[in-house]
Each structure stands twice: as C-alpha cells, then as structure tokens.
Amino acid sequence: MIQSETIKASDWAARPSIAGTGLAAVDRIYSSDLKRPIEALGGSCGNVLISLAMLGHAVAPMVAIGDDDQGQFLYDEFAKAGCETQYVFRGGGAGSPVIVEFVDTASATHRFTSTCPETSRSFPRWSSIDDQLVERARSTLDAASVFYTDRISSSILTAMKAAFEAGALVFFEPASADGPLFMQALEFASVIKLADGTIGDRIEDREVRSGAVLIRTHGERGLTVSSGSSRRFFPSTAAPRLVDTCGAGDMVTTGLLDFILTRWTSDRRWSLDDVMEGVGIGQRLAALNCAFTGARGLFFAAGAGYVREILDRGVEGDCGSYVMTLGRYEGY
C-alpha cells in the first residue's frame, strides 16, 4: 500500500475532496489455494474511500470502529493511504466488524460470513457515526465535492443533508431499504446505486428525486444508468482472468467517482454525461480487479501508481495483458 502524509487543511481546501461514511471492516480472506488467510481493509465504504485516497484524492472517512486490534488495523490502513483520519472514531463499544470471505479460485465463487471459522464466535456488527462526530466534521462536509455512504442512520442522514445543501454530489449505495430514513435519504442523494435481486427490486424509478441519477446493477449482465427520460444499458466487461468477483461493484464506484473528481472545478462540477463515461471506466477497472483475490486485489498486485496510470488513460490498451503477468496475492 502506498504511503503518504495526512492531508493538510490548506490542501483540502485547494482541491476536490470526498467525505464518506458507512461500512469499514476487516476483510479476512480464506482462499482455496492459500495456506493462511489474508487481511485487508474492506466494506463498500472502506474500499471506495481508501481506493480514492490511494489514487491521490483528498479523502476524509467518517467512521466508528472499535478500540481493539482490528480497529487499530483499520485506522492504520486509512492513515497509510493518506486519508484525513480525524473523523475515524475509535470507541470502546462492541469492537470492529470483520467480514470473512471464502474464495474458491477454481470456480471463481465466494461466500461471506460474520462468524469466525476458528472460534465460531460472531464478529461485532457495524456501528453508525453519531451526531457529535457529524457536527465536528461540519466544515469538511461543507467543503466536500463528493459525499459517499452505503448505510443510513439519523446521523448519516444529517451528514447527507449538510453535504447536499453545500453543493456536493451525494453518492448513496444503500445496503438495505428498510424504514422511513431510507426514503428521506433519497431526497438528498445525487446518484443512487441499487442492486437487482436485493433492494433494487423494491424501489421504483418514480421514487427517486427528479434530477438524480439512478444506477441499477444487474450482476454479471451489466448495469443501467438513468435520469429522467435518459437511459443507457452498459453490458459487463469481461475479466482477463476470473479469480474473485468480490468488490467488483466497489471498483465500478471507485472508477466513476475518480473520473468525476479529476474533472471537478469550481465552475464545473459534474453532469449526467460524466456519470455515463465514469461508469464505463469503472466497469473496466472492476474487470481487471476480478483477476485477483480480494475486493482491492488489483491495487495490491499492481500498485496504486499503476491503477492511477491506467485510469488516466481511460483503462484502455494492454492493461489486461499486463495484469495476467502478475500473481494473485502480492502486497497483502
């Protein structure tokens, strides 16, 4: 993982930035062709934010993790990637979440559990940030170009509203659609990403705020981007080597937000065309990532500098040929 210094306040104000909250967890990965598990920072929020930081963006995670060994690991990973860590809250609580992934590389399939395979004990669950942390981060929310969340709570809703009213693109990638808070969150979401087979089947287009962009993912078939009367289907991009599809959706989001942030200026923010183009780039990034184990395997195997280079080129050229020369587990 790349090393960099914590972002200075002057740097934060001078360039487009992203603040975000949601699930940041330790990914513990058991692979069929590994003798021991490997660990990485994970969770959709964690994957997206740390990937964007490693790509050189100003990133401020707003997350609540445990005051335990796993929490220290998560904090250190955010810091090493160059994130602003003053809003990473390490409380006593129940501890930090851990997600166990079992990967069968022969069939390129995986399954998840929140139970430790060694002790059979359940790992701690996700905890939301609170109103006090949101208030502490108010100036950052007011300055952020993008706000990301994959969870909803009353405090997260407050943060979404603050970022939206300050002019940020609010990217909402919810894990569930339960309760009235979800419908309220749609009022402040600029881009909503929903998956078929889960919550995407429960939300109709008419329930999304006018002017917002809706991304519906269809698994291995691809995804559809729509806003008002505009609609476009994006077929999936084939992976050069299919090892693990975990994190593919997070890489689509990472590629999309990277494209928007690199084009953001004080007088030009984002457009539907940016989302359309960014989604295509994100799909190609996701396809490359599927050649490696773990949600951010490409970053570990090829390095953040290489990922930055191919994104600057639009993920074109001989990227697939190059990643095929790399092993699956470098960097963990």
- What was the pLDDT predicted at 43? 95
Q: Which residues partner with 92 through β-bridges?
A: none
Max Cα distance, the chain (Å): 55
Say which residues have a Cβ less than 8 Å from residue 136's Cβ, sequence separation at least 6: 86, 87
Stated as kind and residue range, the H or E segment containing 28 is strand 25-31
Q: What is the pLDDT along the chain (332 residues), one digit of tens a residue?
A: 333 334 444 455 567 899 999 999 999 999 887 788 889 999 999 999 999 999 999 999 999 999 999 999 999 999 999 999 999 999 866 799 999 999 888 888 889 899 998 899 999 999 999 999 999 999 999 999 999 999 999 999 999 999 999 999 999 999 877 778 998 999 999 999 999 877 767 777 788 888 899 999 998 899 999 999 999 999 999 998 888 888 999 999 999 999 999 999 877 789 999 999 999 999 999 999 999 888 999 999 899 999 999 999 887 767 778 878 887 655 55
Written as six digits, the tokens of 186 are 């749609």
Type of residue at 258: D
Question: Would the pTM of this model clear 0.85, i.e. be above it?
Answer: yes
- What was the pLDDT predicted at 265? 83
Distances (CA, A) of 84 to 87, 129, 214, 314: 8, 16, 29, 27
- What was the pLDDT predicted at 2? 34
Say which residues have a Cβ less than 8 Å from residue 201's Cβ, sequence separation at least 6: none
Whether 307 contacts 284, CB under 8 Å: no
Report how far residue 135's alpha carbon sits from residue 318's, in angstroms, rounded to the nearest whole number. 47
Q: Which of 167, 28, 181 is nearest to 96 (CA)?
A: 28
Q: Which of 283, 162, 273 is nearest to 213 (CA)?
A: 273
Domains and CATH numbers, the chain: 9-310 (3.40.1190.20)
Orientation of helix 248-263 relative to helix 44-54, angle to 10°: 40
pLDDT tens for 224-264 read: 999 999 999 999 999 988 888 889 999 999 999 999 999 99
Task: Return the number of other C-beta atoms located less than 10 Å from residue 220's C-beta.
Answer: 9
Q: Which stretches of 98-247 are DSSP H helices?
A: 131-136, 138-143, 154-165, 180-186
State the pairing for strand pair 169-172/191-195.
Answer: parallel
